[in-house]
Structure 1
Amino acid sequence: MKKVDLLEGSIVRSLTRLALPIMATSLIQMAYNMTDMILIGRVSSNAVAAVGAAGMYLWLANGLAMIPRLGGQVKAAHELGAQNTERAAAYGQAAFHMGALLAVLFTALCILLNGPLIAFFNLSSPSVIADARTYLIIVAAGFAFSFFNQIFTGLFTAMGGSVVVLRATAVGLVGNIILDPLMIFGVGPFPQMGVAGAALATVLAQAIVTVMFLLAARRETALFPHIHLLRASRRQVWKEILKIGLPVSIQSMFFSALSMIIARIISGWGDAAIAAQKVGSQIESISYTTAEGFATALNAFIAQNFGAGKKDRIHKGFRTAIGMMILWSCFTTVLLIAFPAPLVQIFIQGDEQVLQIGVSYLRIMGFSQILMCLEIASSGAFQGLGRPMPPSLVGVIGNAARIPLSILLSATVLGLDGVWWSISISSIAKGTVLFIWFIVILRRYIRADGTRLPTAPARFRPRRSEPRGE
């Protein structure tokens, strides 16, 4: 596997070579959802509303998977930067164990309680409710694939192997594109399954990605041969992963929970509003999934250089990343504000109410794109330094403010647009605070004495009588 050297050479070249495959991967993952949404939109706007409601629990699952994924990625990158391969493998091993446990627990929760979980959204149509429950059950059955894919993504990224992630995800996308129309509309030997077909195609595509990662891991020689999944992980390693991953996971799941409350508020304007918000968020994901992909690259870059004690390289890497994020977010700002109607019409045709609501959503979100992208980049930088708490704190407080702000603004002449403005305003506030906060932390770190990571705790250090990380 050809890896990007994050510790030496041109910063722009290193960061770009790592970031581009990750950003492409993020866009491919976005294409998974868009493919589903475009085809489901051809079924009906009710089907879109059903997937939109059930999809909220997929957000929760992804947030839960952030614990082993991000914790394993950051800690493994720190140790790889410090040339401690065995310790890096110990974090990877624990990440897989933790991911398996969390996937089983959340899968059981979603399948056993699918009725009450969907009832939370107060959907008005019995057919929408039935489709939402079906979608949730099928997708939940494949959560294990999703969790493992995230952990593989984190570990390969920590190694500088983002191209592997791109290839695996691309193969999964091709599978999804092929399976979606076959299973949704019923082609050849496949019966017409509608929403259930979209869910099944998504699960099968995730399984394909897992197989691709397993094949790549067998060929990789630096890290994965040292990971022994059938041996118990050390308690201290779990604690270190939780320390990094848990704050980010809480932030992500809290955001998902708040999004559910927002969705319940939106449902007061009917199922068309739910469908429009789902379509609008899919379109906006062009902006934030790309930014998240770049933030993942920045995370790995900073983490390895932090482990190696290269302060100046961290500073220059962050400045380079911010410049790139500003350019990208300016493009998406223009796209959302100037061309909202053609974008919505890609997904929804023949429903004027959904179109009008979706156009308003995109235009209002367009004003927050620059600072939203700066927030995402700053979060990745904080996590790379092993400081997940600041972005989690800002995220939780900023997202929580959306609820009272939504209620307040939607009670004015703004109506439903008041909900959209509450989301946009909070994104602007979060981006401003977190960007300034990271600059302050970075300056303090650069001026402080000491350049390397602290020595590992004694109980983590392997005994000489046994291989480390086992």
Structure 2
Amino acid sequence: MATSLTTGRPWRVILAFSIPLLLGNVVQQLYQFVDAIVVGRHLGVTALAAVGATGPLLFLLLGFAWGVTSGFAIPIAQAFGAGDDAAVRRSVATGTLLTGATSVVLTVGAPLISAPLLALLQTPVELMPEATVFTRISFLGASTMMFFNYLSAIIRAIGDSRTPLVFLTISCALNAGLVVLMVGPLAWGVAGAAVATVVAQAVSVLLCLEFVRRRVPVLHLSRADWRVSRADIAEHLRVGLPMGFQASIIAIGTLVVQVALNALGADAVAAYTTGSRVDGLAVAFLSSLGLAVSMYAAQNIGGRRPDRVRRGVVEATWMAVAAGVVLGALIIAFGEPMVRLFVGDGSADVVAEAHLMLIVNGCGYWALGLLFVLRGALQGLGRTVVPTVTGIVELVMRVGAAVALGAMIGFVGVALSNPLAWVGAILLLVPAYLRESHRLARLPVDPAQATETSTLAIIGPVDGSMVVDAVVTQPVRVIR
């Protein structure tokens, strides 16, 4: 079911939209928990470290693909907010063609360079065989990941964040079951973990397509919809490529962190891998808010409600910062027993270093929450330059900290690279969004959208101005 995000109290709309995203992130993190536990317990710490060593490389290329497909959904959300169903379908067709082209390039080229890139990253020799197998299989199945992400993104773009959650849950449950089977009884090693992910995502793609066919007529494409213009392609690339490059820029910083970890040995790699699994659960809510704000801003700017964009970002910022403080406290208090789930007895050094990483990250979650919300808002508004530049800032901060501090104080110096990168990014994002907010304040509001009922609430002052927001008492736009 498609639903407009252009009506209702902004914080409630954003929170309601983000909850399925949060649950989806938690489900995905729980799968990664199972994956790491199965690999670590059945194959040992070395195999766990080998899989962990592939993370930054996979993030570099697959993260680019994820960013691109998420960017392709922004014009869809803007068109849906404007009520232009023909533009929605044309945008879906454009994004599908570009997603297909990107997946072909990635599937053909990435497996060929996996081993050389792992060697360039100074992956420990004892990890190379299993790390190479895992990356090659993951890249060969990259098209399933890309299309699952794209289909989920376009469903969310029309206001439905629940259905992608259902399919993601099915995918993760299937993935977990296949990992247990392929790593355990079938004894396929780390290759089994990679194959399980590809198969599960392929099933999810089929489920998304069937759902769209049966339940979402606004996304049913005709032959005419596939006649995309150069302008359509240029607009999608204008939004999608910077979001993809932004993810890759961040990934480059993560690659440098991985090099620094590799120099510290297999225990440090294993500690960072297990710590990242726990850290991912805490970050899930914050990233969900950022994605919700992105879709919210896109629909509302398309529906000519700049006043709702400004108010929604302010309310989401308070939610994100408060959540960051609470999550940081929880992860610091309970991080160590969670880390122990991944490793057996005799791994005290791994547990200690992983918990240290969680303490460092937990102290900076408030900054990460602010980063996600402001970056998501700018991306939803189609402002891609500043978010991309913040990715470069994160790269510089993360690389500088990992290399310099890692050499001086070891693992804790590498761990500090994350919060330092977050703070560096928000120092640029805050003034950039404030400038955008002042621009939005000067834009006209669609009278038909702003007077949905006879009851109006005066909200203010915000940035020195009064914002009029409708109190909605009638059904929102719904397409069944």
Q: Deviation per CA, 1:140-179, whole angstroms, max 9, x where unpaired? A: 1211110001111111111001111111111111111211
Work out which of the residue numbers 403, 408, 411 in structure 2 matches 1:407: 403
**1:11 to 1:450, Cα distance in 2 relative to 1, 3 A:** closer
DSSP-derived class of the 1:226 partner:
coil
Q: Any conservation in 2 of the 1:375–1:432 contact (CA below 8 Å)? A: no
Q: Which residue of 2 aligns with 1:359?
A: 355
Q: Which residue of 2 aligns with 1:177?
A: 176
DSSP-derived class of the 2:184 partner:
helix
CA RMSD of aligned residues (A): 2.0
Q: Deviation per CA, 1:55-90, whole angstroms, max 9, x where unpaired? A: 323212332224542232110111111111111211
Cα distance in 2 between the residues matched to 1:227 and 1:37: 44
Q: Which residue of 2 aligns with 1:29?
A: 28
Cα distance in 2 between the residues matched to 1:95 and 1:228: 15
Alignment of 1:140-179 (within 5 A): 140-179=139-178
| Letter paired with 1:353 | D
Give the superposition deviation at 1:53.
Answer: 1.9
DSSP-derived class of the 2:166 partner:
helix
Cα distance in 2 between the residues matched to 1:364 and 1:229: 54
Give the superposition deviation at 1:203.
Answer: 1.0
Work out which of the residue numbers 394, 398, 406 in structure 1 matches 2:394: 398
Q: Any conservation in 2 of the 1:373–1:431 contact (CA below 8 Å)? A: no
| Letter paired with 1:116 | P
Q: Any conservation in 1 of the 2:64–2:248 contact (CA below 8 Å)? A: yes
Q: Does 1:298 align with 2:293?
A: yes
Q: Deviation per CA, 1:100-152, whole angstroms, max 9, x where unpaired? A: 111111122222222212212323343x2111111112111211110001111
Alignment of 1:155-234 (within 5 A): 155-186=154-185, 191-226=186-221, 231-234=226-229
Give the superposition deviation at 1:451.
Answer: 6.5
Q: Which residue of 2 aligns with 1:441?
A: 436
Give the gaps of 5 or more residues in structure 1: 453-470
Cα distance in 2 between the residues matched to 1:72 and 1:55: 24
Give the superposition deviation at 1:30.
Answer: 2.2
Q: Which residue of 2 aligns with 1:236?
A: 231
DSSP-derived class of the 1:83 partner:
coil
Q: Any conservation in 1 of the 2:81–2:300 contact (CA below 8 Å)? A: yes
Give the superposition deviation at 1:448.
Answer: 4.2
Alignment of 1:30-45 (within 5 A): 30-42=29-41, 43-45=43-45
Q: Any conservation in 2 of the 1:153–1:165 contact (CA below 8 Å)? A: yes
Cα distance in 2 between the residues matched to 1:151 and 1:211: 13
Alignment of 1:71-86 (within 5 A): 71-86=71-86
Q: Any conservation in 2 of the 1:104–1:144 contact (CA below 8 Å)? A: yes
Give the superposition deviation at 1:206.
Answer: 0.8
Cα distance in 2 between the residues matched to 1:228 and 1:47: 49
Cα distance in 1 between the residues matched to 2:281 and 2:431: 25
**1:391 to 1:287, Cα distance in 2 relative to 1, 3 A:** farther
Cα distance in 1 between the residues matched to 2:294 and 2:421: 24
When structure 1 is superposed on structure 2, of 443-452 and 103-112 the one drifting more is 443-452
Q: Any conservation in 1 of the 2:293–2:380 contact (CA below 8 Å)? A: yes
- The sequence identity of aligned pairs, in percent, is 25
Q: Which residue of 1 aligns with 2:375?
A: 379
Cα distance in 1 between the residues matched to 2:174 and 2:157: 26
Cα distance in 2 between the residues matched to 1:9 and 1:96: 31
Q: Any conservation in 2 of the 1:90–1:227 contact (CA below 8 Å)? A: no
Cα distance in 2 between the residues matched to 1:432 and 1:280: 26
Q: Which residue of 1 aligns with 2:112?
A: 112
When structure 1 is superposed on structure 2, of 390-399 and 139-148 the one drifting more is 390-399
Cα distance in 2 between the residues matched to 1:291 and 1:426: 16
Q: Which residue of 1 aligns with 2:476?
A: none
Q: Any conservation in 1 of the 2:306–2:443 contact (CA below 8 Å)? A: no
**1:407 to 1:137, Cα distance in 2 relative to 1, 3 A:** closer
Q: Deviation per CA, 1:323-355, whole angstroms, max 9, x where unpaired? A: 221232122211222233112112122212211
DSSP-derived class of the 2:416 partner:
helix
Q: Which residue of 2 aligns with 1:457?
A: none
DSSP-derived class of the 2:340 partner:
helix
DSSP-derived class of the 2:426 partner:
helix
Q: Which residue of 2 aligns with 1:344?
A: 339
Q: Aligned residue pairs: how many?
A: 445
Cα distance in 2 between the residues matched to 1:282 and 1:229: 45
Give the superposition deviation at 1:305.
Answer: 0.8
Give the superposition deviation at 1:443.
Answer: 2.3
Cα distance in 1 between the residues matched to 2:154 and 2:223: 15
Q: Any conservation in 2 of the 1:4–1:18 contact (CA below 8 Å)? A: no
Alignment of 1:37-76 (within 5 A): 37-42=36-41, 43-66=43-66, 68-76=68-76
Cα distance in 1 between the residues matched to 2:4 and 2:341: 40
Q: Any conservation in 2 of the 1:123–1:129 contact (CA below 8 Å)? A: yes
Cα distance in 1 between the residues matched to 2:48 and 2:228: 42
**1:323 to 1:363, Cα distance in 2 relative to 1, 3 A:** same
Give the gaps of 5 or more residues in structure 2: 448-480
Cα distance in 2 between the residues matched to 1:238 and 1:66: 18
**1:224 to 1:114, Cα distance in 2 relative to 1, 3 A:** same
Cα distance in 2 between the residues matched to 1:93 and 1:31: 33
**1:340 to 1:22, Cα distance in 2 relative to 1, 3 A:** closer
DSSP-derived class of the 1:267 partner:
helix
| Letter paired with 2:10 | I
When structure 1 is superposed on structure 2, of 324-333 and 362-371 the one drifting more is 324-333
**1:276 to 1:236, Cα distance in 2 relative to 1, 3 A:** same
DSSP-derived class of the 2:123 partner:
coil
Cα distance in 2 between the residues matched to 1:403 and 1:68: 24
Q: Which residue of 2 aligns with 1:458?
A: none
Q: Any conservation in 2 of the 1:67–1:241 contact (CA below 8 Å)? A: no
**1:424 to 1:221, Cα distance in 2 relative to 1, 3 A:** closer
Cα distance in 1 between the residues matched to 2:322 and 2:122: 40
